[in-house]
């Protein structure tokens, strides 16, 4: 097959390159990530479901893909059991990888997953276009194909259902430890690892599980990250609203942050191009401390309409958007960024410590 491929955006822009993954046409929302490393974790992050990912760092693939190790029953360092993106766009792909833990190339990994990728693209120009015009749909296809995009058939509830693991999974820490119900909207594996590492047992349930009818004896609720628009999940929002009546501790991350905000009576909105990187600066409005965080989201909580009893906890330094809310009296808290990192800095992991302390005090 011809190796000349292209990325076509819905506004008609065309970016040409060469295919280095599976030679398969794919359509999805085109988003960009400004991180310098971490493509293995990012590509397996369920929050990228339904999206074509553009990596702005100019050299990708140089450290390959590591061997899979099982830690606490989960594959490491991968953030799910499969690749989640619909396609990958890079400036320069390096096929000759070099790393002590690597056992295959990025191209091999993508080809095994039947996912397309193109290299040789002006990702700087592409990113500037997405920043100025906002994220938009696009398709990766051979250079001689028609530029017309098919109709969009994805919705957020469908995407979350694709990445939420069915059934109930138990991850046990020490005997007698506190237990959380983790609502899996596409939970990254490092959320489970981070909780187990702090002596908290985790019961992971499907996002549509009725944890109000049966909380499985948990001491609190944890709302995970995931893809898409939170307003497309009304049943989950209503269940969280009912769970708040129990007064038990609740922590939300990313999509879980937005779900908590909506359940408590707040509002969410679509960001022009979202935050996707491992270098997003935020400020704790309580202490004034600054942190560098890992982020991956396209929606945010509206800070001008915070739920009753909640206050703004964290703020994004770059654009002033909300990065966290917290209740003034109840043990309810959430953040838009990823304290579990992977990829990215781990300095906000102290939030897990604080929430675990709240669990023990309860």
Which residues are registered as beta bridge partners of 98? none
136 domain residue, yes or no: yes
**Closest-CA residue to 268 (of 241, 306, 294, 234):** 306
Q: Do 312 and 197 sit in the same domain of this protein?
A: yes
Confidence at 154, pLDDT banded by 50, 70, 90: low
Q: Do 233 and 353 reside in the same domain of the chain? A: yes
Q: Are residues 275 and 318 in the same domain?
A: yes
The model's confidence at residue 231, banded by pLDDT at 50, 70 and 90, is very high
Let me know whether 195 and 326 are in one domain.
yes
Q: Are residues 260 and 238 in the same domain?
A: yes
Tell me if 151 is assigned to some domain: no
pLDDT for position 235: 98
Rg (CA), the chain: 20
Same domain, 65 and 166: no
Query: Do the Cβ atoms of 228 and 271 come closer than 8 Å?
Result: no
Q: Which of 87, 85, 104, 105 is nearest to 95 (CA)?
A: 105
CATH value at residue 87: 3.50.30.20
The confidence score (pLDDT) of residue 1 equals: 47
User: 78, 112, 145 — which closes off a domain?
Assistant: 145
- Those residues with Cβ within 8 angstroms of residue 12's Cβ, 6 or more apart along the chain or in another chain: 147
**CB distance 89 to 129 below 8 Å:** no
- Residue range 234-242: average pLDDT? 98
Two structure tokens written together for 312: 């703004």
Q: Give CA–CA dist 183/259, Å, rounded.
A: 11
CATH assignment of the domain containing 277 = 3.40.50.880
Q: Which residues contact 282 (CB under 8 A, 6 or more apart)?
A: 290, 291, 293, 314, 315, 316, 317, 323, 324, 337
- pLDDT of 2: 66
Scanning the chain, the segments in alpha helix (DSSP H) are 39-43, 106-112, 123-133, 156-163, 189-196, 234-244, 255-263, 350-361
Structure token pair of residue 281: 């600066």
pLDDT the model gives residue 130: 97
Distance separating alpha carbons of residues 318 and 264, to the nearest angstrom: 27
- pLDDT tens-place string over residues 180-191: 999 999 999 999
> Annotated active-site positions, please?
254, 338, 340
Lowest mean pLDDT among 77-81, 90-94, 152-156, 186-190: 152-156
* Cα–Cα dist 301/253, whole Å: 12
The secondary structure of residue 166, as a DSSP letter, is P
Q: Which among 218, 211, 163, 156 has a CA at the least distance from the CA of 189? A: 163
Cβ neighbours of residue 360 closer than 8 Å, sequence gap 6 or more:
178
**311 and 266, same domain (yes or no):** yes
Residues 6+ apart with CB under 8 A from 286: 313
Does residue 125 carry a pLDDT above 80? yes
- CB of 101 within 8 A of CB of 77? no
Segments forming the whole domain that contains residue 189: 157-361
Share of the chain above pLDDT 90, in %: 92
Residues 61 and 107: their CA atoms lie apart, in Å, by 8
Assess whether pLDDT exceeds 80 at residue 155: no
Domain count, the chain: 2
Calpha distance 278→362 (Å, rounded)? 33
Question: Do 306 and 232 fall into the same domain?
Answer: yes
Residue 150 covered by a domain = no
Q: Looking at the domain assignment, is residue 91 inside a domain?
A: yes
């Amino acid at each position: 097959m011809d190796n000349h491929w292209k990325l076509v955006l819905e506004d008609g822009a065309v970016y040409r390159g060469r295919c280095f993954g599976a030679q398969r046409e794919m359509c999805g929302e085109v988003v960009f990530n400004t991180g310098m490393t971490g493509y293995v974790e990012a590509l397996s992050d369920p929050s990228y479901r339904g999206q074509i990912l553009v990596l702005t760092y100019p050299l990708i693939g140089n450290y390959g893909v590591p061997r899979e190790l099982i830690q606490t029953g989960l594959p490491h360092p991968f953030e799910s059991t499969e690749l989640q993106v619909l396609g990958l766009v890079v400036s320069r792909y390096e096929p000759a990888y070099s790393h002590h833990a690597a056992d295959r190339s990025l191209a091999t990994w993508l080809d095994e997953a039947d996912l397309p990728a193109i290299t040789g693209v002006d990702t700087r120009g592409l990113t500037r276009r997405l920043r100025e015009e906002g994220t938009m749909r696009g398709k990766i296809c051979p250079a001689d194909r028609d530029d017309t995009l098919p109709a969009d058939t994805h919705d957020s509830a469908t995407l979350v259902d694709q990445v939420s693991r069915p059934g109930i999974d138990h991850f046990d820490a020490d005997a007698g430890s506190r237990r959380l119900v983790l609502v899996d909207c596409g939970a990254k594996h490092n959320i489970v690892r981070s909780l187990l590492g702090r002596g908290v047992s985790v019961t992971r349930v499907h996002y549509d599980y009725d944890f109000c009818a049966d909380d499985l004896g948990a001491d609190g609720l944890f709302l995970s990250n995931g893809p898409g628009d939170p307003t497309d999940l009304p049943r989950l929002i209503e269940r969280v609203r009912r769970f708040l009546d129990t007064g038990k501790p609740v922590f939300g991350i990313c999509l879980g942050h937005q779900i908590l905000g909506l359940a408590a009576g707040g509002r969410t909105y679509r960001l022009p191009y979202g935050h996707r990187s491992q270098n997003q600066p935020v400020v704790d409005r309580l202490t004034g401390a600054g942190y560098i965080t890992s982020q991956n989201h396209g929606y945010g909580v509206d800070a001008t309409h915070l739920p009753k009893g909640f206050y703004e906890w964290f703020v994004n330094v770059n654009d002033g958007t909300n990065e966290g809310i917290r209740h003034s009296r109840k043990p309810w808290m959430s953040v838009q960024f990823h304290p579990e990192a992977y990829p990215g800095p781990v300095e906000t992991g102290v939030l897990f410590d604080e929430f675990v302390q709240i669990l023990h005090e309860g």
